[in-house]
Amino acid sequence: MDSRLPWPEYFMKIAHIVAERSTCLRRKVGAVAVKDRRILATGYNGAPSGLAHCLDIGCLREKLKVPSGERHELCRALHAEQNVIVQAARHGINIEGSTIYCTTQPCLICTKMLINVGVREIYFQHSYPDELSREMIRESGIVFSEMPDGCAD
C-alpha cells in the first residue's frame, strides 16, 4: 500500500506554502498550475512587481470599505490565479490543459481568465462569495471541485 501523500493533497499543500508569500492584508491566496504532475507556475496575491504592497502601505479596499467579493478593480493586488497566468506567460510556459490548485475559489475575473487559457481542472479549498464564477465554470465544462480543509494541514 502506498503511504505517500496523494497528488492532489501534495499540490494543495504547495499552494498553501505559496500563499505565505502573499502581501494581502485581507486574505492570503496561493495557486499552482500543474500538468502531468509537474508544477508549471505558481502565484500569490500581491501588488505588481516593483510597486508598494498593501502590507507596507495599507489596504485600499479596507480604506474604502469594499466588501469581499465586490469591486475587484479597487485593489492594488493581482490575484494568485492572475499571477500564475502572468508568470507562465512571462516565462513562455503553456498552461493550456493544466490543473489549477488554489487555496481559495477563483473570483469571476480569474475564472474568465482561467477559462480562456484552457485550464482543464480547478481545485480549491475555501469557497468565495461569487456564484457567477461557479456558474461560468460549470458552463465551461472545467472540472471544479472543493477539497476538504484538512488536506493541506
Q: What is the set of active-site residues?
A: 81
Does residue 107 have a known ligand-binding role?
yes
Using an 8 Å Cβ cutoff, are 101 and 70 in contact?
no
Distance in angstroms (rounded) separating the CA atoms of residues 115 and 96:
9
Does residue 72 have a known ligand-binding role?
no
| Residue 132 three-state SS | helix
Give the number of other CB atoms < 10 A from CB of residue 70: 11
Q: Which residues are annotated as a binding site?
A: 79, 107, 110
Q: Which residues are annotated as a binding site for Zn(2+)?
A: 79, 107, 110
